[in-house]
A and B are shown apart, each in its own frame.
Chain A
Amino acid sequence: MDTEQVAYDYDDFIQKTGDYDFEDDEPLATDLIDHEGFDEEQLLQQQQLFQRQIQIQQQQAAAQLPDAVRNFILYFHHCMKENNVYDLHGCYENSFNRLTEKFYKNTPWPDPHGVVAPLVNNDQPFVTLYTELYYRHLYAKLQPNLEDRFASYDNYCIWFNYIFDSSSPPELELPTNWAWDIIDEFIYQFNSFALYRSRTVRKSHNDEEIQQLREHPQTWSTYTVLNVLYSFIQKSRMNEQLEAIKEGRDPDEVAGEDGSRPLYKTFGYFSIIGLLRVHTLLGDFTLALKTMEGIDLSKKSKYARVAGAQFTTYYYVGFCYMMMRRYADAIKAFSHILLYISRTKGFHNRSAQYDSVTKRSEQMYALLAICVALCPTRLDDSIHTTLREKNGEQLARMQRGGEESLPVFEELFSFSCPKFMSHGPPDYDNPANNVDPLQHHLKVFMMDVKRTMLTPTLRSYLKLYSTMNIEKLATFLEMDPEELRSGLVVFKQKSRQVRWTEGSLLDGEVVNVSDLDISLEGDLINISEAKIGRKFGDWFLRNTAKYYAVQDTILNKNPEKQEEKEHKDKRRERREKNAEKKGNK
């Protein structure tokens, strides 16, 4: 096929959905098979015939491609060769998804090697990229079997080797969200493989698969994944670049030759987030946060525009904080991203990742509920409302404390935690010895939770008094006074956490995060509670302005000017609110 033909707006061709009707199969040329005897020449002839038949089959398979799909592939290839990032983005973001919806909802895309490769003259980089998309689609919509998993791994190896080829680094430039998706998918398939492997060993009796798994320990090994991620970071000198940006210097100075290529830069940055994810999956929360130390989350970098990366980052950062008992920081991280999601809701509806975004946000609400139960804090109003809608009942049960709250904690944790995995291959010979990592982490987490079971009850009593005698409280709670004393020490201890103020993610100082504070004087408990005074004036003014707006809408005065005004008012309100908050500190 002459690829030069492809310089047109192929969107027009989306309209054409005609399938080719293909001619009947050419019958096998049985008359050439001599049943009398073989000789070299005939053998050769048969081989040639066989090859020709394969070619014909391939052509027919290619011919079975809907026109739109074939054109898409050719156009796609063209964009890649021309390094037309803008159109490539369009192909990737819009057309691929549209065609999937139309033709390949539940079936795989055309086979990369059999069908697509001949179409593009076996242009290896393109085929590799296409294969990545092919497998991503397969994992998402269908059930990949062991063979598929091995094959997609091999494909990633080819792709990464291609990128890391230092003798001729590719000139290719991929759109940022595609680069993120590649890293994201890579880690997802790695995670998925580990889960598949442990499930196979534990449940299925498919000895053949187990044998294959045993024989290929290198496939989807943790070392490979870590190697890829670290190599990207090192090649692009990402950490040095980030440090330079922080100090206000030009990152290109420290980037080195490779680091200044956009492809490496993008992959380097996203690999850091990839490492955050991998470390968390293996249970190393401190290292996960430490790896992120170059990235300043409050700054808006150009990578922050990739929504998927933002969600992943905040989810994992929040989760790590939670596991390190820094609940206040976790709440902040989750609130931030959930607010972002709710504000950009309309925007995401049409994206193909809508389902995964929804699932993530539900998980984050669940984690937020856990954190709020363990560390009561005021939340932003809209988040609070949504939280009550989604997890209100569970939150109430957790906040009541006591034995009944424990199953709720377990349920929410299991639902929303990352899919933990163990590093190495499972014990093939003694399947019973393999403990699910999720259970392990859940158990350790619950040990912490169990120690705070008394807290909610204590809080409810302490809120009622400003001083109280330990003996008296012990009688109320039907506890031994000495144990109560211990309980109060624990309560005080738990309300002091490390909280981030500035610097890298792991930094922080110990502050009191509870609104209720106690101090013991011999047998007397002194209690102080922070009350936030109601600001009546502000509330009235704000609502007066709102009523004016309502009035105007009803009288339908000047609709355009009205919208502008509302916009400005909202912005001003927000500014004022922030200024007040700062002023009152």
Chain B
Amino acid sequence: MPSSSGSTPLSRPPEIETILTTLSRYNPETTTVLQEYVVTQCATGSYDLMANLALLKLYQFNPELMRDETVLNILAKSLTVFPEPDFTLALHLLPPSLLHQYSSASTPNSTIPLPPAADTDDQLSNSVHRLTYLNSLLELAAFPAFWRIVSSDVDEEYADLVADVTGFEDAIRRGITKSVTVSMRSFKLESGLSWWNFTNKEAVEQWVEAEMPGWVIEGESIVRKDEEDTTTAATSAVQPATGKIKFEQFSRVIRRVYENELLHH
């Protein structure tokens, strides 16, 4: 089940479960426990949406307790589960002033937006803007642009922001894999280089073998081999103009005709 369905992840320790299911989620003192939990998530690669949102809510209620680092880590973590809407849900719980001045213009003839404009005075705002921009790139499936920005030399801030999350790159790659497997039946091997940020074809091949069961490499393309076909549109196959009508449906008409016959004789 997707994470936003609120189901309990296996990695959640019992004391967190208690916090989330009782009123202690409003107790300001639980911020320390939840903050530690975020650190754990970053270190081990696990992920717990409800706990992170609960912490953001506590920050909402007790702004003086807010820790910039934790907030940024939560946002970075929610990037890793894209295409889930988790990043957006987290944004809703942030103080409005953080996003107030965010804007990213689009270039003409391109759907890919530019990085956010000039920096504001607030360091936290700037970081949030950058992460939001990264999220936009992922949502727009502009994967080459995403990798370019994240590993950019021009603005090292981006790399700093995601540095705390172990396995960030692989997690993003997995998200991209999900998008790709859902929408494609086959694609060129060399696209894999820019989409997954690999430097050579062998790395791509290794990735496909490890992470994409049911897909094989055929020459210069990566092809889906299993029978699972995701191209089933919502209402299944084309329904023919039905010729079948049950006899009972005629009952009203027949009865009426019968009555008419009776009455007129």
Q: Is the CB of B7 within 8 A of A507?
A: yes
A533 and B242 in contact, given A284-B53, A286-B49, A514-B234 (Cβ under 8 angstroms): yes
A12–B185 Cα distance when bound, in Å, is 79
Residues of A within 8 A of B136 (CB): 447, 451
Interface size class of B (residues with CB under 8 A): 35 or more
Pick from B1, B53, B143, B244: contact of A509, CB below 8 A.
Answer: B1
A548 and B256 in contact, given A286-B50, A435-B100, A512-B233 (Cβ under 8 angstroms): yes
A26–B244 Cα distance when bound, in Å, is 92
Which residues from 82 to 131 on chain B have a C-beta closer than 8 Å to any C-beta of chain A?
Answer: 83, 85, 88-89, 91-93, 95-97, 99-100, 102, 109-112
Q: Is B212 an interface residue (CB 8 A)?
A: no
Pick from B23, B95, B110, B233: contact of A528, CB below 8 A.
Answer: B233
A538–B61 Cα distance when bound, in Å, is 58
Pick from B5, B99, B184: contact of A507, CB below 8 A.
Answer: B5
Which residues from 210 to 249 on chain B have a C-beta closer than 8 Å to any C-beta of chain A?
Answer: 221, 229-245, 249
Contact with A along B155-184 (1 / 0, CB 8 A): 000000000000000000000000110111
Q: Is the CB of A576 within 8 A of B249?
A: yes
A226–B23 Cα distance when bound, in Å, is 10
A289 and B96 in contact, given A515-B235, A528-B231, A541-B250 (Cβ under 8 angstroms): no
Q: Is the CB of A440 within 8 A of B99?
A: yes
Residues of B within 8 A of A511 (CB): 234
Residues of A within 8 A of B17 (CB): none
Shortest Cβ distance from A427 into B: residue = B97
Q: Is the CB of B63 within 8 A of A424?
A: yes
- Interface stretch, picked from A16-24, A27-35, A137-145, A483-491, is A483-491
A526–B232 Cα distance when bound, in Å, is 11
Shortest Cβ distance from B62 into A: residue = A424
Q: Is the CB of A443 within 8 A of B183?
A: no
Q: Is the CB of A521 within 8 A of B85?
A: no
Pick from B83, B235, B240: contact of A493, CB below 8 A.
Answer: B83
A284–B5 Cα distance when bound, in Å, is 14
Q: Is the CB of A444 within 8 A of B99?
A: yes
A517 and B233 in contact, given A226-B26, A324-B89 (Cβ under 8 angstroms): yes
Shortest Cβ distance from B59 into A: residue = A423
Shortest Cβ distance from A495 into B: residue = B234
Q: Is B43 an interface residue (CB 8 A)?
A: no
A508–B253 Cα distance when bound, in Å, is 43
A325 and B85 in contact, given A522-B188, A522-B221, A545-B253 (Cβ under 8 angstroms): yes
Within the complex, the shortest CB–CB distance from A359 to chain B, in Å, comes to: 24
A514 and B233 in contact, given A436-B96, A447-B132, A532-B239 (Cβ under 8 angstroms): yes
Q: Is the CB of B97 within 8 A of A530?
A: no
Q: Is B29 an interface residue (CB 8 A)?
A: no
B binding-site residues for A, Cβ under 8 Å = 1-2, 4-7, 23, 26, 49-50, 53-54, 57, 60-61, 63, 83, 85, 88-89, 91-93, 95-97, 99-100, 102, 109-112, 132, 136, 139-144, 179-180, 182-188, 221, 229-245, 249-250, 252-253, 256
Between A and B, 23 residue pairs with Cβ closer than 8 Å are A286-B53, A324-B85, A324-B89, A423-B61, A443-B99, A444-B91, A447-B132, A479-B111, A482-B144, A483-B112, A490-B139, A493-B179, A511-B234, A512-B234, A517-B230, A517-B232, A517-B234, A519-B230, A531-B238, A533-B238, A537-B244, A544-B252, A569-B252
Nearest 10 pairs of A and B residues by beta carbon: A533-B239, A440-B96, A492-B183, A435-B96, A506-B6, A486-B141, A537-B245, A530-B233, A517-B233, A489-B141
